[in-house]
Structure 1
Amino acid sequence: MHEAAMPAYWSVIPFVLILLAIAVLPIAAEHWWHKNRNKLIVSLVLGIPVAIYLIMLGRFHDLEHQILLDYIPFVSLLGALFYISGGIVLRGDIRATPRNNVFFLATGGLLASFIGTTGASMVLIRPLLRSNSERKHVVHTVIFFIFIVSNIGGLLTPLGDPPLFLGYLRGVPFTWTFQLFPEWLFTNAVLLLVYFLWDRRAYAQESLKDIRSDVTHIEPISIKGTINIVWLIGVVLVVAFVNENYEPFRSLIQENQFYKLMQVPFLLGLIILSKWTTREEFRKANDFNLEPIIEVAVLFIGIFVTMIPALILLKVHGPELGLDTPVKFFFATGLFSSFLDNAPTYLVFLTTAQGDMTIAQFIAKDALLLAAISLGAVFMGANTYIGNAPNFMVKSIAEQTGVKMPSFGGYMLYSIGILMPVFIVVALLFLA
């Protein structure tokens, strides 16, 4: 068998183009881009040539691995969390005051570490939008929701965010991420404070008519479809235990390189259980539909395929990047996590930092490097709409309710202006 050839640098162009399409087409061709069919066309037009090129280079294994072992489990997990959480109805309409909105965001930031950023996002985004439906100034609330609930809140356990789960499968102890609690607390506290001050000013700009409408439409909070909490716990258990670390799966995995696919039937089974045990009116009450998860699926198939040359080049040339301090690893991991999927990016930089050491030896010698890589992958997935999958879902759901979300570049103006100063302080306080 011939040794696989390295992809050329120009082979990353389709990946750059798909990023540009996501950034530009919602503005330049809003009506056309709105249809998921057209997003799929863009993904296929850019992805298929890259797939053919990789096969010609003898890198079919990389393509097979990316689709079967990364993309399918990735979409299956997100789909399960999305569908099951869509059956949980938080009814009611509390006043959309800055204090109550902070409570929503803080609760989501805590839940994200235990039911995943996707689960927490899908459970809470609709109630938050409903409570704020009488207000005109809502965009900043959704953006901070993406920052905190869809990303930064998921730092405390391997179940919170896919990069940390991959680290757990590589041998990082399950409880190790609890050591990142000071960084988690500091970053969330700063963002919640900034949000509170921002929202208090925005609240003062609301018209008296809208404020009165908000006050008169108060309805006590109640929860329906609670059986889905059981199925969400089931998803967590599948992700935690259906892997090579536990019998009876270890012996099966040793004989099957596609072991990650074993989680898929379990997740599909939980989706079916959720459908059978949830009254259809609950999902109707959530205005639930499959468009957001379809949007993620069709866009990320293109992203996952076109990113392969970039990941290969990054893995080979990573040691040449001069990454020799935790601060450098934090920002390098974060930069690539902003535009590549943060899970494979985490693995690339973990491999680069680990070298020939075992995970146990690496943690004993360079625990601060592992902390930097973990923080960069989880935190800076919030920098763009594509840094972490829940970002796109939240954006799509908000737009379906009439919130005019910023473009790809417009969102980055928020993330650069708000998040990057916070991340610089995090680096100086915890990693320098």
Structure 2
Amino acid sequence: MEEKKKVKDNKIKKLGNALFAKFFGFEEGIDITDDVAVLNRRNVVIKNIIFISGLFYSLLLLILSISTKQRTDWAITVISFPVTYLINKLLKALINMDRKDKTKQLIAAYIASFYIFLSSVLIYARLYSSGIFETVSYILIYYAIVVISLYQDKKLLSTAFSYLFVLVTVIHFTWTYQITTRTQGLSVLDFLKDFVGTNEFGDLILRSLVFALFYLVVYVIVSIGQYMQEERKKELIKRRQVQKDFSSIVGNLFQAVFINAYINVNQEHAYQVQKVSEKIASFVGMNEADIKNLSEYAIIHYRYSEIKDFDISATTYDEAEYEQLKAKTTLGADIVKRMELSQNCEAIVRSHVENTISDEKMRAIMNTQPDLQSQIILLADIYVTLRSFNTYKRPYTHAMSISLFEHQMSNYFRIELKDRFLKFADEVEELYNNF
């Protein structure tokens, strides 16, 4: 039961995360270097927030209508639902009119911002005198600032705050405290003398200061966010440029290596190395799975055709393309490593035959791919190369090959690998002679 409950909870959690990412996630498949695409996504998210906000406003009006039972309140409530729907449809049409046109996306952003602060002010104007609703409706003005701040645009935020501050002040003077009625018959100086000492004046100043302080904090947050966004964008652009240059170099390098693998590697030699490698792997007690992997790696350079059209010039990839690129890159890296083993084999044999080996060269080769799988393939490659004809030497007999390996080449390999190879050298000879 506990296991089923956990599975069910995980499914619900994944569904919730997916829904949130779809409707409110800013990271939903957006290239942050594309300002228009980012703005479009912000518009979509804020449109969805405005729709939810509209439903909440309608709910507040519905509760007010039920409590007052006045026809005018019911009329406003009924009208609010279609208005919310129509505003959402209008914003959706503007946003989708041309997703790549910055001007159209900016217009949608300004309309959305204007609607969110205007609607919050109108809701406050409608509910401020309704007792318990005054605090809730007043908070919505702060809420409008927060929603507008999601655009991460300092200019838009400061403009919205200026208009909101003026509108809220006007509302305080005309509706909240009905200050305009107290000015009748009084001069400005007399009015100020009368008003400054009242509780309403203190409350007005306090509300204005708190609203300004809240705006300052949000403005700082937006400034930091906008700065970090710009820096991330610059860094990503630089990184992509470096990636493009690096991809070009790596692509050319891979092509050169792949062509070398395709042209210069002798197929008969490669399959001989594969069989000898499998035999030596059995001597050291490798399991079947490891021997199979070793066998595939021994002739991996013959999979050149799978990646001969290797291309990493694109700047962005979807999930499927990324996985395909990853698979090709991994295969290409393995081919390069396998070719390196072949080159090491050639360097070892030729240096010892021509007596040009040095301690520095020996150390460099020993530090290359020291894992057991690579050492087995290198050992098999050396043995097959010694037994084969080459431009710089004649084929060695088995005895000559073992002697050369035992007295001059054994330092390249692990002691246990060397011992097992020497112990079963006759079986390797029999396998080679039967090719």
Task: Give the TM-score band, short-chain normalised.
Answer: under 0.3
TM-score with structure 1 length normalisation? 0.21
TM-score with structure 2 length normalisation? 0.21
Choose between structure 1 and 2: higher helix proportion.
2
Which of 1 and 2 has greater Rg? 2
